[in-house]
Structure 1
Amino acid sequence: MSDKPQLSAEEMVAAADTGARQAGPAVSKLIFALCIIWSLFQLYIASKLPGVLAQMTGVSEFANIVAQARYVHLAFALLLATLAFPIMGHRDRVPAYDWALAVLGVAACLYLVVFRFEIAQRPGLWSMTDIVMSGIGMVVLMVATFRSLGLPLVIICSLFLALAFFGGYSAWIGNLTNYGGASFSKAMGHYWMQTEGVFGVALGVSTTMIFLFVLFGALLEKAGGGNWFIKVAIALLGALRGGPAKAAVLSSMMTGMISGSSIANTVTTGTFTIPLMKRIGFSPEKAGAVEVASSTNGQLTPPVMGAAAFLMVEYVNIPYIEVVKHAFLPAVISYIALLYIVHLESLKMGLRGLDKPGRAIGVPMILILFLTGFLGMAAITMAVIGIRMLLEPLMPGETIYAALVLLGLAYVGLVFVASRYPDIEVDDPNAPVVSAPRLTPTLLGGAYYALPIFVLVWNLMVRTDTLERLSPALSAFWATIAMIIVALTHRPLKAMFRGGSAMAGETLAGFADFVSGLVAGARNMIGIGVATGAAGIIVGTISLTGAHQIIGQVIETISGGNLMILLILVAILSLILGMGLPTTANYIVVSSLMAPVIISVGAQSGLIVPLIAVHMFVFYFGILADDTPPVGLAAYAAAAISRGDPIKTGLVGFSYDIRTALLPFMFIFNTDLLLIDVTFFHAILVFCVSLVAMLLFAAATQGYFIAKSRLWETAAILLIVFTLFRPGFWLDRIEPEFQGYEGAAAIEALGSLPVGSPARIEVEAPDFDTGELASTTIEITPESDGDGIARLDAAGLTVMEEGGTLLLEEPFPGTPFFETLANGFDFYGDEPARIVSVKVENDRMPKEVFFIRRAAWRPSRRRSRQPP
């Protein structure tokens, strides 16, 4: 049994996220200054200031640095990783070799900035200096990866480097990928001197988007917003049965939206909620597990979903608002189900909530408050849109200033209201008596913290005929600016409204919060910056060697071409890698290797799997690894606070998270859960049905529904859950989903298809590598009237009919299916490529019919000895 003091949890966060070296005041001040400079640099490149300064002074370097930002970004990450993360036990000093590594790492990065013009004149013809600096940079990056992220990612990167250097000697690899090997010069140039490797997409996203969101979260936390989230959650839910555990779920969801780190989220909220859960009767392991399950799931919650979500934007090539839309429903369902699990645990143990002064708030009132809050935010949004639309004819293109005035008035008004109540202090959870605070003074005492979040959500989501939705980077920039203003001014403003006697001290305190936020944001980014750089080695190796084909063939062979087995293997791979890799690196590795394989195997099985569904699948299991024994770091952090056993904490936490592990499998086969091609009212139906299914699944995993469930009742519940999540499975048993047509009938069926209705086309052709016949399925959606041949031609598919066989020619580059077909099939082999069949959806009864059937059992309420 672990018996660690609370400080060990904080040390764990430092070791995992921010750096745990304590090397004296001089080094601490240097790290402090570097963190501030890094944060200010990121704000500078995200603003319009570089262009303004370049125009005012005529010095183009003010603007040119923006194009070189990712090199500077990695230079800061390597420098801070070397100084902040000890190696070989040197926690109390920075040895000489660390200073040398720090200088060399910065030099290798800035070499690409200082000599960028000379490098541009010799693309691919690298000089000896280029190769030496590249080699130095790669070594320093691998050492920094070991410091800040541990050995697993170093091993994985080393294996991919070995493939790049020695893969050409393998006949099997050469036959599979046509890779003939790379010299040291070619490989180093590929990894370091261009944007195919270390300085690729992942590091670019870290530079332009991830840092700003992490900085926004750090500023919000340091200004007091994190504590406000916790106190509001306790005020809302603390007095209910098992209230502190339910408050832990809600507060972790809110802080998880902006923290981006499950370990930091666990410690931030768990420091307060875990002792409260233990006080009302939760065991140390269950208290820690509730916090772990809540905190890890925080990264799944829009609008901010951790670093991997922003990488998803680039890899899937969709707007961030689409990622938010697809992630919304599973995240909400998952959290409501976790609240229900906590409720069931409280029922089983007969627990009560915290005492609370004033009027008690029941579940119906809480639901009304949530609904009122959502409707209120929607009303405010519509009102601001209306005002801007009315002002647009009077001040074309300038209505943003009116909106800023409204925002400023709202902020001052909310701070004035907050000044009428006592400041929201951080309570001691180990105090002899702890009660849930009253809701009104708690909510209004910090409501102004919600304004920067409102700015973020507005910029990410609101779009009208006259208002353009901003990019994630710009949205985060303006939200961060709003948060900086709040951090600097909310204390002195409240002091002024209270009489002004303490304004000077409160102004200094606000500035200290601002500086602390800058430092915390930069320190939180060290691991992410290094991880995205190291992950670039993996992505660069894939582009250099075609490594995904090797891994893909191995996994596909093991799965036997069965999609479900393949998904289970990918889930296990994500969990195993996630034990040693941060979520960001885990997502990059698994999605780069396995996303094409899942889509290919699904197509061979006749299932069109959307790319976003595959990436969300990998994303979910990468996050779940944080509480998977035996290495779930979030579970260790929670156990350090609860003084429970970390392995048991991880096991219980993972049992709570089984509901989250179920969702990725469900939305692979039922994309309605991701709100793909659904109407508004259908989305409401999907939400209600999926929520009921998930609550029933939670009851089945807990073995408790109204009362303790019998085995046959649990089996019946699981059957109902399956039906609710996959109603189409039973309908397919009655009537097939698609009607297949071949030859001339297929062309006729395509021609009679209504505009906008999809059709699936099964293509058979010799495999490019083996020469054996293979098949895949593609989907086309006619956008205009025409016969079948014309509709195929519009999709880039040239078809000729010979003797009842539809022969298919190789698609031209740039057409929709060129990548899918031309890269995998040989269109010039002995056997011709052909369209085997065209499948059109049958006109059958709606699958929702199976929702109507009532369960054939009712658990006896008489077996329940306590009210719900």
Structure 2
Amino acid sequence: GIQPMMAAATPRTLIQKVARIGMGVSGTLIVIAAIYWIGVGTQRLFPQQAFGILVTLLALLYVGLVWMASRHPDLPDTVSVTDPVRPDVWPTVRTGLFFLIPIGILVWSLTIERLSPGLSAFWAVVAMLVLMVTRRPLQAFFRQQQISAAFVQGLRDAIDGLQAGARNMIGIALACGTAGLIVGAITLTGLGLRMTAFVELVSMGNVLLMLGFTALVCLILGLGMPTTANYILMATLMAPVVVELGAQNGLIIPLIAVHMFVFYYGLMADITPPVGLATFAAAAIAGEDPLRIGIQGVKYAMRTAVLPFMFIFNPLLLLIGIDSWYELVFVVVGSIIGSLAFAAATMGWMRVKSKPIEIILCLVATFMLFRPDWFMDYYQPKYLSVAPSQIYEVAADLAPGKRFVVEIEGMNLEGDELRKTVGTVLPPLPEGATDLDTQAAGRKRLADAGIGLMAFGDMVQISNISFGSQARRAGWEQGWDVVAVKQLNPQRPSEYLVYIPALLILWLIWWRQGARLRTEPQPVLQAGQSI
């Protein structure tokens, strides 16, 4: 049978493995933090010269990494099939650390500079082309080899990369073009305007049924469409619908959460029989029936199918709205334990075969770990409603990074009176505007977010929403009335307190199954059998 690749280095002890992992993780975090603070600090201290300084520092970093890699031999281009050897981690990583620079530029442009995805990808591709052209000449210079031949080879690598990228983009371009035709036809014929009413009619206004309907449509479209085209089509048609209907039900759904939801089920379509493309590839490798492999794959995938729904109802799982490092730890640890508990419940097995009551308790603990806010809402609501006349005071006192939430009411294009809950993150006040009074500070923060208001005594109306602003994408409507302003409830305890009973439930199940494991004989599975 297939044998694992043997490590080239001598086996390490458990303490050595833990120490190496800890040093690697901590070193990576320190480097990322240093890059962030150097970049942000340079922009704050030298705003006019920041671009030149950062490009110079990036060039020096690139040259230094190439110099470090040139001191060691290159990795082999191929791996021996008859006698494979697993290379050591650090010698492998240090020979290509500079290839992380384009990825860092892409992430920096998207998250820090807030550039568009297309422009961010453009700068990342430019950086990658510079690396491909200059890497070999720099290594030849440091190794005292011939530079001209290395430069010619670098140019060939860049040209080959552009050609390969163009060939790989043909399928994606065709998929995007086809999806664009469908989206354009739906938009021009007015069918897109009826999509919200259709989904609302089918789901009867229930957000959970609406999400189930969306997931089903993703799976059906994925039977005959590539994943990219499926995602583009569903994200274009259904993402605004989900956000809009969620707002009408008092639920603020971040747009990125809907995109992740659609993308997840678009990927699941690749393993859904009878047309799952990934199952045919797996069947060719395993030499088994594609339909049986698809059914088994769906069984495995359904154990994680609940996660996209949790993205919608608890955006903290997508690291949205996290304010501190310990909150990040709570969310990550709770998500991991919740996923393990859900897997144990769906498999019916933790340490031994679970009893029905243990499966139910595992599902309850899973829900408590994924949705602690649902339980805390019954004790203390997250938001308190205040009068619309206090909208500027609430906006001025809102902490940076927190979502400003209001309830608005108005008439849509079809003449129906609707009420929905919308929210957006307000930018902090500029450095020179900290001496403003409460009214002016709130008005300034709202204006910087693209929101204009008109106040008439106790009535507040949205006068304008800037085109392309976060508020526009979040569903704020021009001409609608603000009927309530949502203020964070200071009396609400931390929702992570719900983790305590959830962990106690799981510990009780673990303890009971441990007692059965020691006292009851356990079945011995033969090859090919399953639980």
TM-score category by the smaller chain? 0.7 to 0.9
Whether 1:437 aligns to 2:82 is no
Q: Which has the higher contact order (CA 8 A, sep 6+)?
A: 1
**Cα distance in structure 2, aligned partners of 1:561 and 1:638:** 40
Cα offset, 1:639, TM superposition: 1.5
1:555 to 199, 202, 225: 199
2:493 to 845, 848, 857: 845
Aligned Cα root-mean-square deviation (Å)? 4.5
Aligned residues: 485
**Cα distance in structure 2, aligned partners of 1:600 and 1:386:** 38
Whether 1:756 aligns to 2:398 is yes
**Cα distance in structure 1, aligned partners of 2:106 and 2:234:** 31
- The 5-angstrom pairing of residues 336-415 of structure 1 reads 359-361=10-12, 366=17, 368-379=19-30, 397=52, 400-401=55-56, 403-415=58-70
Indicate how the Cα distance of structure 1 residues 365 and 808 shifts in structure 2: closer, same or farther if over 3 A, else same: same
Contact 1:796 1:812 in 2 (8 A): yes
Cα offset, 1:629, TM superposition: 1.9
**Cα distance in structure 2, aligned partners of 1:538 and 1:567:** 22
SS in 2 for 1:629: coil
Unpaired runs of 5+ residues, structure 1, are 1-277, 281-352, 828-832
Cα offset, 1:461, TM superposition: 2.4
- The structure richer in helix per residue is 1
CA deviation vs aligned residue, 1:14-34 (integer Å, no higher than 9, x gap): xxxxxxxxxxxxxxxxxxxxx
2:359 is matched with which residue? Answer: 714
Contact 2:271 2:298 in 1 (8 A): yes
Cα offset, 1:688, TM superposition: 1.8
SS in 1 for 2:176: helix
- Normalising to structure 2: TM-score of the pair? 0.75
1:619 is matched with which residue? Answer: 263
Contact 1:750 1:791 in 2 (8 A): no
1:855 is matched with which residue? Answer: 504
Contact 1:570 1:594 in 2 (8 A): yes
- The 5-angstrom pairing of residues 540-619 of structure 1 reads 540-619=184-263
Contact 2:394 2:442 in 1 (8 A): no
Cα offset, 1:527, TM superposition: 0.2
Cα offset, 1:556, TM superposition: 1.5
Whether 1:449 aligns to 2:96 is yes
Indicate how the Cα distance of structure 1 residues 588 and 753 shifts in structure 2: closer, same or farther if over 3 A, else same: closer
Contact 1:532 1:585 in 2 (8 A): yes
Whether 1:747 aligns to 2:386 is no
CA deviation vs aligned residue, 1:170-189 (integer Å, no higher than 9, x gap): xxxxxxxxxxxxxxxxxxxx
Which letter maps to 1:579?
Answer: L
Indicate how the Cα distance of structure 1 residues 718 and 361 shifts in structure 2: closer, same or farther if over 3 A, else same: farther
SS in 2 for 1:587: helix
Which letter maps to 2:452?
Answer: G
Contact 2:137 2:147 in 1 (8 A): no
Indicate how the Cα distance of structure 1 residues 660 and 485 shifts in structure 2: closer, same or farther if over 3 A, else same: farther
Cα offset, 1:711, TM superposition: 3.0
CA deviation vs aligned residue, 1:78-121 (integer Å, no higher than 9, x gap): xxxxxxxxxxxxxxxxxxxxxxxxxxxxxxxxxxxxxxxxxxxx
Cα offset, 1:778, TM superposition: 2.5
- The 5-angstrom pairing of residues 85-124 of structure 1 reads none
SS in 2 for 1:786: helix
Indicate how the Cα distance of structure 1 residues 456 and 480 shifts in structure 2: closer, same or farther if over 3 A, else same: farther
- The 5-angstrom pairing of residues 722-801 of structure 1 reads 722-741=367-386, 745=387, 747=389, 751=393, 755-756=397-398, 760-769=405-414, 771-779=415-423, 785-786=438-439, 795-800=451-456
1:698 is matched with which residue? Answer: 343
Percent of aligned positions that are identical: 30
Contact 1:747 1:788 in 2 (8 A): no
**Cα distance in structure 2, aligned partners of 1:608 and 1:703:** 35
- The structure richer in strand per residue is 2
- Normalising to structure 1: TM-score of the pair? 0.48
1:811 is matched with which residue? Answer: 463
SS in 2 for 1:707: coil
Contact 1:639 1:649 in 2 (8 A): yes
2:78 is matched with which residue? Answer: 425
SS in 1 for 2:306: helix
Contact 1:796 1:811 in 2 (8 A): yes
Contact 2:102 2:128 in 1 (8 A): yes
Indicate how the Cα distance of structure 1 residues 776 and 514 shifts in structure 2: closer, same or farther if over 3 A, else same: closer
2:331 is matched with which residue? Answer: 686
**Cα distance in structure 1, aligned partners of 2:250 and 2:396:** 22
2:286 is matched with which residue? Answer: 642
Cα offset, 1:606, TM superposition: 0.8
Which letter maps to 2:107?
Answer: L
Unpaired runs of 5+ residues, structure 2, are 429-436, 525-531
Indicate how the Cα distance of structure 1 residues 763 and 382 shifts in structure 2: closer, same or farther if over 3 A, else same: closer
